């Protein structure tokens, strides 16, 4: 969904991307910063019982991690630094970031475990479905209701709300579990339709 606005977002990120490039930050370095911020966000989630302020910190760090995830791609395209390994590394570390955030929220008792696991599995399978489809040359960008950007925004908003109403984060996880797995279904149907058309063309 939000990927459809990517061109506008990339234009907005052009100035910070140029600034980052001037100070020597490469796409891979930005990716590394992003995963570090995600782990720091997870650490902040573990401290929520000490003070609810840590939930605000967790949300802020998560949003910054997502910002880095967008910024590294912009830098790579602006300065022709796009590489196959860079794309692989970015995707791989995104999965670690997602996994550690969801696992921490579950272990910190901020959501019902079954819904947390459903959200975690859905998040990973959404990404796997795209990787598998694109390996077969099927374009998947913007297919599905809850891509990574949407998931980060939903999780950040409900985390901030949880400062005042703790159950909001559990509700956010339930929403993510439903939307993530619905996205998997949407992508599966998309791949099915594409492959079905291909089979019909080959027969004729």
> Catalytic site residue 94?
yes
Half-sphere exposure of 119 (CA within 13 A, CB side): 29
| CA pair distance 76, 71, nearest whole angstrom | 9
Place of tokens 């995707």: 91
Tokens of 96: 């670690």
Tokens of 98: 């997602």
Nearest to 121 by CA among 179, 42, 38, 187: 179
Cβ-Cβ contacts under 8 Å for 140 (sequence gap 6 or more): 129, 130, 133, 134, 187, 190
The one catalytic residue in 72, 94, 98, 136 is 94
Catalytic residues: 94
């Amino acid at each position: 969904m939000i990927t459809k606005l990517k061109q506008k977002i990339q234009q907005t990120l052009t100035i910070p991307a140029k600034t980052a490039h001037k100070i020597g930050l490469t796409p891979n370095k930005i990716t590394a910063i992003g995963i570090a911020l995600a782990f720091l966000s997870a650490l902040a989630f573990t401290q929520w019982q000490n003070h609810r302020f840590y939930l605000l910190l967790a949300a802020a760090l998560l949003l910054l991690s997502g910002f880095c995830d967008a910024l590294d791609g912009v830098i790579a395209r602006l300065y022709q630094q796009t590489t196959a390994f860079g794309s692989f590394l970015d995707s791989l570390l995104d999965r670690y970031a997602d996994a550690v955030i969801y696992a921490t929220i579950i272990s910190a008792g901020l959501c019902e475990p079954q819904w947390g696991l459903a959200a975690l599995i859905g998040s990973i399978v959404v990404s796997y479905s795209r990787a598998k489809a694109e390996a077969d040359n099927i374009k998947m960008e913007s297919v599905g209701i809850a891509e990574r950007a949407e998931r980060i925004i939903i999780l950040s908003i409900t985390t901030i709300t949880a400062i005042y109403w703790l159950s909001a984060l559990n509700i956010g996880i339930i929403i993510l579990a439903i939307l993530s797995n619905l996205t998997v279904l949407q992508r599966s149907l998309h791949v099915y339709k594409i492959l079905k058309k291909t089979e019909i063309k080959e027969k004729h």
